[in-house]
Structure 1
C-alpha cells in the first residue's frame, strides 16, 4: 500500500470515503491496498497521523478480528525510536481502524527506484536503525513477517519500520487462502517460503535482503517470477556483487539456517564496527535529493493542516460510539509508505471526486512535477519496469439514464417488429393451408421466438493475466496483453480502474458460487452490470463478460496486489469464446 503524492502532496478524499472516523476528521487519502485504506488526519494538537481503515472482507472474518485485537495490544507496547507508535484504534466497530503518527518521507523502495542505491554510510545507518526497530518489535512478542523496502520509511532523523501491527492478523485470516497473502516472495526467508515456522530470525533474513536492495539497487536473489525467486532463496547462495565492501557482513543475515543468523542487537554492533566513524543519526544521513523530497512532504503536510475546514453539510447521522484508547506520544512515523503517482480522478456519473482543500490534491494542468516525483517526462519504459508510473484514467462513465431510455425505445421497436413478424407468419400459414407454397428459411427459430445461437466456439484459456490499474485487455488478442488506456471507447473488453473491473460493452454478469462457469451459463444469464468492484470479489469469483464484437469471456478473479506492493493490479484467469454471439452496436 502506498502513501503520498507528487511533490509531497496528497490525494483528495473520494466520494465513497468517510469524512471522519471517530473523532478524527479525514483530510486526505494517503493510499489503499489489499488490507484497507490509509488517510491523513491530525491529532487535536495538530500532529499529523496516518489512520488506516480495514477492508470489509477482513472485518467480517472472526479470526482476523481476534488476531487484530492481539496485534494492536502488542503494537501499543512498541515505542521504539525507529517504529510507528500506535496513537488510537478501534477493534470492535463495524470497520476496525488503527492510527499511528505520520512520517513525511519516501519509502526505501521509492527512494531507490527514483535516486538509485544509497551510499555505504547511509546503508549502515539504515541497517542499524532498522535492526534496532526489530529488537523493539521482537521484544513485544511480534514477528514482522513482511519486512521489505516499501515497509521502511526514510525520515530526516532515521528509518521507520511500519506495518508490523497487523501482519500476523492477516496471516491468520481465511482470505490468505483466497488471494490476500502476507509476505513478499523476494524478501521471504527460506523457512517462510517453505511454509515452516516463522521466527524473529526470519525478519533478520528479510533485513539482509533490505540491506542488499539499499546498497546495490536489487535484492540478493534477483528478480523474475515469484516461484523462480523463491527457488533461489531456498537453494542458491545470495548474489551480493556491487555491495560495498564494508557491508560484507550482510551475508551472515542471509544464512539458510536461522540459527546461524545474527540477532538484531549483533547487527547494530556489526554496523558500528564497519563504520570508520561512530554512527550518529542526523538530518544529513541521506543523499541531498532524498532530503529534498522529505522537505517537500513536510511543507505539503503543513499546508494541508492550515487549510480551512469544510462547512458542515448538516447534522451528522447518529452512530454508535467507538472505543478510543488514550493517545500515545506522537512521533514522526507513519503506517504506510508513499505511493506511486496517480492520475487525477475524473468526474463521472456516480464517481464525483472531492474538491481538494488548498495545499493538496491533483495539480492543475499544465503541471511540471517537482524533481523526483510524478510520471516520467521521456518515453515510458515497458510495462512493469518503472515503479510508480501510472497510466491516464479511463474516460468518464456514460450517463446510465440515456442508456435506459435507449433500451425502452429499443423494446418498443422490438415489439412492433415482432408483431409484424407474427402477421407475416400467420399469412404464410394461411397460404400453406390453402395449398400455397412457402419458402424455406436459412435460420431456424427456437423456443421463445429468438434466433438459434451460434455454434459453440472452442474456448481458449489464459492463466494469471495481471491487469494494472488504468489498463485494459482485448479478448481478440492472443494472448491478451495489458494495454494502457489511450482514449478509445471501443475494444476495451476488460479494464481495471479505481477498484472496478468493467467493460466498454457494459455487459458483465457476476456469477453465484453455485453456477457453472460455462458458455451456456454466460449465454443464459442476463443480469448485466457495467462493472463490479473489488469489494464484491474474492479469489475464485467468476464473471461473464460479453463484448460488442461478439466475444464472451469467463473471468476468474484470483487476487489483487499485495499490501504495500508499489504496483496496483489484479490477477485474473481468462477463458475466451471468440465470436460466440452476434456483434452488437451501442
Structure 2
C-alpha cells in the first residue's frame, strides 16, 4: 500500500461526503450508482472494505427500508467463493449502509469498455464462476434481479458477483417512477421487462447476456433508448452474428424467451467444460494481461486515516505511593489515557475509536449491561482531568470508616424493628404488589416494603426475522443475526423452517414463551403471572395480531406481536413481529 493509488480509481472525498459511517472512517470514493455511493474504508484490523451508503431518497421510503433490511439479512447467508460477502450493515440508521469485502478488480463493464471482448477461455471461466455464484445465491432463497456487467468484478482468481438481491428493495418504492433507475434494461429478461415477473430463471437469462457481452464486447440486444432495447428483448431475437461459434449453443439456450427453456446452472457449468478445448481451472492467468494489469492498480490502496484516541486536557500526575482502586466514575491514572474506570450502571460516555484494544468491531452488537456474556464491557465514563486529589491522612480515613460502619449498624437495627414490629407484612412480601421485591437478604436485594421499580418498556416495530436467524432482547435495536444452528435456531427469539417436516415455528433457546389468548392483553404484569410455558410455538397457532410473552434467562421480558409471514412470491422466508421489551425486569434465571 505504499505505491501511489490511481486518482481515477480512488477519488478523494468531496464536500458533502461523510467522514465516518457506522464507525468506519472513509478513505476514498469508489463509485456512484443508482441506489447510492460506494466508499473505500478499512476494518479495525486493516482489511479494506467497500461501504455503500444508500441514497436519501430511498431511505425516506418505509417500504424500501423494510425490503432492504430483509434482503441484507438474507445476503448474509451467502458465503460463496465467487461472491463478495457482507461484512457489516445498518438498515435502521438515518441513511442505511452496507459493507462488503473489497474486491481489487475492475468490473466486467469497465474491462470490456477499456480492452474490448475477452478470449474464449476467459469467457468460459467467467461463465462457470458466475454460474457457481448464482447457485449459492439461489440456494439462500435470493434472486439477483440485476445481474449485469457492472455487478461482476474480475478478481485475480476468478469473477465476483456483487449487489445480489439488493435491487429488489427498490422495486416497489415510489421512486422507480420518478427518474431513479433501478436495473439495466439491456440485461433484463423478457418476463421481467414485460410483466415484472422474477424467478431464478431470470438470472439465467442475464448470465447468457453477460457471456455474450464478454465475448462480443457489446450487449446482444444492442444499445439505444431503454424503450427500444426492452422492445427488442421482448419481441426480437438477439444479434449473435459476432459470437464465437463455440459459445452459440450455450448463449442461445440461456436467452430463450421461455423461462422453462433455459438450462439449469448445473447444465451451464457442464456445457462450459464440454466446450473448452482445455480443462477449466481458475488461476492467475484466467484473464488477458491487459485486464490483469488493472487489478494491480486496484491493489495500490490509499492509506487509511489514522484516528488517535482522545486525550485529556491535563494529564494526570502520578503519586509517589501506589494509589488505591479509584471509586466508580473517577479517572484511573493507570487506565489508558482518556478513559475512566467503570461508573454506575447506565452511565454513558465516549467510546474508544474502532480498532482500539478491547473495543468490538463496528456494527457488531454487544449485550447491554445485565446480559450475561463473556464480551460484555463495562460502561465507560470520561471526566475532565484536573489536579489529583490530595491524599488524606490514615487517621482521618479510620475515623470516616468507623462513622460509616456505625451508621450502617444503626440503620440495620431500625429496619429490623420496623419489619418485626409493624405487623403490616407478616408474609415477608408474599402479598406485595407485582413489581415489589422480597425482603433483603445476603444478595443485597431490596428490603421488605421497598418497591422494585419496573423498567420502562422500549418498542420496536416491523422486525423481519428470517428463517434460521435469531435475536437478543438485550440488543438495542434487536437485530436478527444468523443462528449457529439454523435447523433449531438459538438466542432469545428465533424463526425456523424445517422443510422436510413441513414445520415453521418461533422459538427460544434462552428462556420461555407463552402464547396469550385473545382475551389477554400483552403486558409486563401478564407475562410475569403466566405459567403456561413452552419453548416453541408453531406458526399454525398464530394469526395476525397474536401476542407472545418472551421471558429470557437473562431477566428480560418482552411481548412479541405477530404481524404475518412472507408470501410465496418472496425469495426468502421470514416472519414480521413487533417487540415491546422490559430489560432487566426480573432476576436472571428467575423466570
Q: Taking structure 1 as the reference length, what is the TM-score of the superposition?
A: 0.52
Question: Displacement, 1:311?
Answer: 10
The answer to whether the 8 Å contact 1:90/1:323 transfers is no
* 2:565 corresponds to: none
* 2:509 corresponds to: none
| 1:323–1:291 Cα change, 3 Å | closer
Matches within 5 A, 1:57-206: 57-206=57-206
Write the distance in 2 (CA, Å) between the matches of 1:213 and 1:9.
23
Question: Displacement, 1:231?
Answer: 1.4
Write the distance in 1 (CA, Å) between the matches of 2:46 and 2:364.
18
* 1:324 corresponds to: 363
Question: Displacement, 1:172?
Answer: 2.1
Structure 1, unpaired ranges of 5+: 328-586
Question: Displacement, 1:183?
Answer: 2.0
* 1:265 corresponds to: 266
* 2:210 corresponds to: 210
Write the distance in 1 (CA, Å) between the matches of 2:254 and 2:83.
21
Write the distance in 2 (CA, Å) between the matches of 1:322 and 1:289.
38
* 2:251 corresponds to: 250
The answer to whether the 8 Å contact 1:54/1:97 transfers is yes
Question: Displacement, 1:319?
Answer: 9.7
* 2:320 corresponds to: none
Runs of 4+ off more than 6 Å: 310-323
Question: Displacement, 1:33?
Answer: 2.6
In the TM superposition, what whole-angstrom CA distance separates every residue of 1:219-238 from its partner, at most 9, and x where no partner exists? 11111222121111111112
| 1:129–1:314 Cα change, 3 Å | farther
Tell me how large the CA RMSD over aligned residues is.
Answer: 2.9
Structure 2, unpaired ranges of 5+: 314-337, 339-347, 352-359, 367-591
Question: Displacement, 1:6?
Answer: 4.4
The answer to whether the 8 Å contact 2:34/2:182 transfers is no
| 1:326–1:108 Cα change, 3 Å | farther
* 1:293 corresponds to: 294
The answer to whether the 8 Å contact 2:59/2:65 transfers is yes
| 1:318–1:198 Cα change, 3 Å | farther
Secondary structure (helix, strand or coil) at the match of 1:125 reads: helix
Question: Displacement, 1:324?
Answer: 2.1
Question: Displacement, 1:43?
Answer: 1.2
In the TM superposition, what whole-angstrom CA distance separates every residue of 1:438-485 from its partner, at most 9, and x where no partner exists? xxxxxxxxxxxxxxxxxxxxxxxxxxxxxxxxxxxxxxxxxxxxxxxx
| Greater Cα radius of gyration, structure 1 or 2 | 2
| 1:319–1:33 Cα change, 3 Å | farther
* 1:386 corresponds to: none
Matches within 5 A, 1:357-376: none
* 1:227 corresponds to: 227
* 1:546 corresponds to: none
Write the distance in 1 (CA, Å) between the matches of 2:116 and 2:349.
51
Number of corresponding residues: 321
Write the distance in 2 (CA, Å) between the matches of 1:79 and 1:94.
28
Question: Displacement, 1:178?
Answer: 1.6
Write the distance in 1 (CA, Å) between the matches of 2:134 and 2:61.
28
* 1:276 corresponds to: 277
1:304 matches 2:303 = yes
Secondary structure (helix, strand or coil) at the match of 1:179 reads: coil
Determine which structure has greater relative contact order: mean sequence separation of CA pairs < 8 Å that are 6+ residues apart, divided by chain length.
1
Write the distance in 2 (CA, Å) between the matches of 1:6 and 1:148.
25
Question: Displacement, 1:160?
Answer: 0.7
| 1:326–1:270 Cα change, 3 Å | farther
Secondary structure (helix, strand or coil) at the match of 1:57 reads: helix
| 1:274–1:325 Cα change, 3 Å | farther
